[in-house]
Amino acid sequence: MAAPTQAQPGETRRFEAAATDPDGDALSWHWSFGDGSPGTLDPIATHAWPNEGDYVVRVEVSDRRGGRASAQVAVRVGDPRTFRITGHVRDSEGRPVEGVRVHNGVSGERRPAPDLVQAWSDSTGAYALTGIKPGTYTVSGFHPEAVIERRTPSEVAHADLAGVDLRLNWLPAVTVEGPEVVDEGAGMTELFTFRRSGPVDTPMTVRFHLGGSATAGIDFVRPLVPQVTIPAGAASVSLAISLLDDRAGDPDETLVVTVADPVREILRADDGTEFEVFYPGLEIVHVGEFLTWSQTRPQYVGGNPAFASARIRDNDPVTPHVVSVSASEIAALEEPLVESGFELRRSGENSGPLVVRLQTRGTAMPGTDYEPLPAEVRFEPGDALVTLPVRPLADGIAEAPEDVVLEVVPDPAYGISLGTAQVRILDRIEFPQQLGITATPDGAWEVLMTGAPGQQLVLEASTDLQLWSALRTNRLFNSTGAVVRVPGGPASRYFRTVRP
C-alpha cells in the first residue's frame, strides 16, 4: 500500500494498493477514510478531509470466495493536537491476527462513551487508535473466536504511544468427524465424534444441528436433546444415533451433523449466585477495582471442519415407486402472512408420470383457515418432488393454533414410505420493531435493533415461528438503534425483538 501520512484540510491525497490472488480470482476493493464518507471500490483512491484530525485509511481486498486481506495507514490532517496509540495483535504463537476490534477501554454511563476510540487490526496485526486525548487508557480488544489478554493501563501525555501490543488466545474449537458410509438398519451406532482443542480440565457441552436427506422417524431416531457433553479429562465424545430400516427400496440418503454456535449459558458467580449470559452479549466484570462492561465469551467455537456427513446405504431392493410426504418445519401464520407447505417425494423409477391421491383432515378448516389442497398431485416424467403450499386465510378471529394433516391415500400404483404429515397454522405474532437484516460474506447476519433511547430489548430467533430462543440482550443508551452480529446458522431463520 502506497499512501501519504500527512495532509492539509481540503488537500486531495492519492492512495494505491496492490494485491494478487493465488487462484487468479477477480478481486474486489473497499476503501474507508475514517471520516464516515462513502468508500471507494477501486485499487486506487483519492480523498480530501475538510477538517483537521487524525484519520485511519483502511483498504480491504477480497476474492469473494472467502479470501481477504487488509492494510491501513494513519494520516494526520493539519495539526489536530491529539495523539495515537499503536501496536500489533498477535496470538500465543506470535502470528498476526486480522479483524480484531481494538479500543482504548473508555466506558461510562452512555454507550458508546464519548471518548471511546476503536479500530480494526489489519493483515499484519497492526492497529492505530487516533484522536486520543491525554489520559490513562487500558487498551483491549475483541475477537468473536478468542480472548484478548488485558493490559495494564498506559498513560498518554505529550507524545504518541507506540508498541502497545495485545496477545490473543484462541477459544477452544470443536470439530466433528464421522464415517463416509453406514448401513441402513445398523441400530444404535456411535456415528459422529466431536473433538475439542485446548484444555480438557472441565466438561464442555456442545450443541449441534442434524440435516441431510435422511428423514427423522424413518431413517434414524432424532436425539431428544441436540447436544453432547465432552467430559472433564477427555478431548472427544461420540454421538450415538439409532439408524432405522424403512424396508423401502430407495436411493442412499445422507445424515449431516453441524456444530452449532453457543447461544446462552447459566454461569455461577464466586458467591454461588447463578446468572444467565448470552453469546454474543455483554456482562459486568471486575477490572482492577472497577466494574466495567465486557463481551461475553462462549465455551467454544466451531472448528474446521464444523460438520460431517455420513451416507446411509439402503439394503432393500428398489421398488418401482415409493411415495413419502413431509411438512415444512416452519409454521404457517395468518398475520403477518407466512406460508408453510408439504413436500411429496417419490423414489425408485421416475421415467414416467405418477398420480398420487391425497386427503386432508385436522382442526383447521379448508376454505376458512387455509386455501384448500388438491385431492391428487401428478409427478411428471423425471420429477422426484412436488410441493404443495399451505396458504393461511386471515379470518380476523382470535383462535388457538390449528393443524392441517395431509395423508397419502394407498394405491396399487405406488408404495408408501411416510404417508402422513402435519402443518400448524398460527393466528398472529406481534413484531413490535422493524428489523434491518443484512447477510455478510461469511454467512452471518447483521441485525439492526431499533427502539427508544434507554430501552432494553431482547433479540430472539426461530426457525419455525413456534420456538424462540434469546440471542442477545441490548440496551439502547444514547441512540435509537444498535447493530448486532449473529453467527451463521440454519438457512431459514426468523428474528424479532421483545422487551424482557
pLDDT (tens digit per residue) in 214-224: 988 888 999 98
User: What is the model's pLDDT at position 478?
Assistant: 44
Let me know if residue 399 belongs to a domain: yes
Measured CA to CA, the distance from residue 418 to residue 322 in angstroms comes to 9
Confidence bin at 479 (pLDDT 50/70/90): very low
User: What is the model's pLDDT at position 494?
Assistant: 73
| Whether residue 414 is found in the same domain as residue 444 | no
- Is pLDDT of 371 > 80? yes
Measured CA to CA, the distance from residue 221 to residue 223 in angstroms comes to 6
Q: Is 120 left (phi over 0), alpha (psi -120 to 50) or beta?
A: beta
State the burial class of residue 404 (Cβ atoms within 10 Å of its Cβ: 0-12, 13-18, 19+).
Answer: buried
> Which of the listed residues 404, 428, 452 is the one where a domain comes to its end?
428
Mean pLDDT (whole number) for 135-158: 86
| Whether residue 345 is found in the same domain as residue 416 | yes
Q: If you compute the radius of gyration of the chain from its CA atoms, what whole number of angstroms results?
A: 28
Measured CA to CA, the distance from residue 358 to residue 391 in angstroms comes to 17
Please say whether the beta carbons of 87 and 162 come within 8 A: yes
Measured CA to CA, the distance from residue 128 to residue 117 in angstroms comes to 10
Most confident of the ranges 132-146, 188-202, 481-495: 188-202
The answer to which of 113-122, 312-321, 435-444, 481-490 has the lowest mean pLDDT is 481-490
| Whether residue 465 is found in the same domain as residue 356 | no
Let me know if residue 134 belongs to a domain: yes
What distance lies between CA 85 and its chain's CA centroid? 32
> Which of the listed residues 270, 289, 313 is the one where a domain comes to its end?
313
| Whether residue 67 is found in the same domain as residue 212 | no
Q: What percent of the chain has pLDDT over 70?
A: 81
State the burial class of residue 28 (Cβ atoms within 10 Å of its Cβ: 0-12, 13-18, 19+).
Answer: middle
Q: Which residue has the higher pLDDT, 315 or 26?
A: 26
Most confident of the ranges 28-42, 366-380, 429-443: 366-380
Please say whether the beta carbons of 267 and 227 come within 8 A: no
| Whether residue 326 is found in the same domain as residue 240 | no
| Whether residue 31 is found in the same domain as residue 163 | yes
| Whether residue 83 is found in the same domain as residue 150 | yes
Torsion angles phi and psi, residue 85, rounded to 5: -120, 120
The answer to which of 143-152, 298-307, 435-444 has the lowest mean pLDDT is 435-444
Mean pLDDT of the residues in the chain = 84
Let me know if residue 106 belongs to a domain: yes
| CATH number reported for the structural domain that contains residue 147 in this entry | 2.60.40.1120
Please say whether the beta carbons of 258 and 211 come within 8 A: yes
Please say whether the beta carbons of 392 and 299 come within 8 A: no
Number of domains in the chain: 4
The answer to which of 22-36, 157-171, 265-279 has the lowest mean pLDDT is 265-279
Measured CA to CA, the distance from residue 121 to residue 88 in angstroms comes to 7
Let me know if residue 294 belongs to a domain: no
Let me know if residue 284 belongs to a domain: no
| Whether residue 137 is found in the same domain as residue 74 | yes
Let me know if residue 267 belongs to a domain: no
| 399-454 confidence digits (pLDDT tens) | 888 999 999 998 888 888 888 999 999 887 755 555 666 766 666 667 766 655 55
- Is pLDDT of 293 > 60? no
User: What is the model's pLDDT at position 152?
Assistant: 80
Q: Where are the beta strands (DSSP E) in 340-493?
A: 340-348, 354-361, 376-379, 385-390, 402-408, 415-418, 420-428, 436-439, 445-450, 456-462, 469-475, 481-486
- The range of the structural domain enclosing residue 332 comes to 321-428
Whole-angstrom distance between the N-terminal and C-terminal Cα of the chain? 48
Let me know if residue 273 belongs to a domain: no
| Whether residue 162 is found in the same domain as residue 228 | no
- 386: Cβ contacts below 8 Å, ≥ 6 apart: 343, 344, 345, 356, 377, 378, 379
Burial 232-271 (b: 16+ CB within 10 A, else e): eeeebbebebebbebebbbeebebbbbbbbbbbeeeeeee
Let me know if residue 285 belongs to a domain: no
| Whether residue 10 is found in the same domain as residue 102 | yes
User: What is the model's pLDDT at position 230?
Assistant: 96
| Whether residue 166 is found in the same domain as residue 177 | no
Mean pLDDT (whole number) for 362-377: 93
- 253: Cβ contacts below 8 Å, ≥ 6 apart: 212, 213, 214, 215, 219, 311, 312, 314
Mean pLDDT (whole number) for 310-335: 83
Measured CA to CA, the distance from residue 82 to residue 130 in angstroms comes to 8
pTM over cut 0.85: no
CA dist 433 to 172, 342, 361, 452, 454, Å? 36, 31, 36, 11, 15
| 258-284 confidence digits (pLDDT tens) | 998 877 667 677 777 776 666 665 555
The answer to which of 33-47, 63-77, 97-111 has the lowest mean pLDDT is 97-111
> Which of the listed residues 428, 444, 475 is the one where a domain comes to its end?
428
| Whether residue 143 is found in the same domain as residue 66 | yes
Confidence bin at 195 (pLDDT 50/70/90): very high
| CATH number reported for the structural domain that contains residue 237 in this entry | 2.60.40.2030
The answer to which of 93-102, 383-392, 481-490 has the lowest mean pLDDT is 481-490
Confidence bin at 50 (pLDDT 50/70/90): very high
Confidence bin at 477 (pLDDT 50/70/90): very low
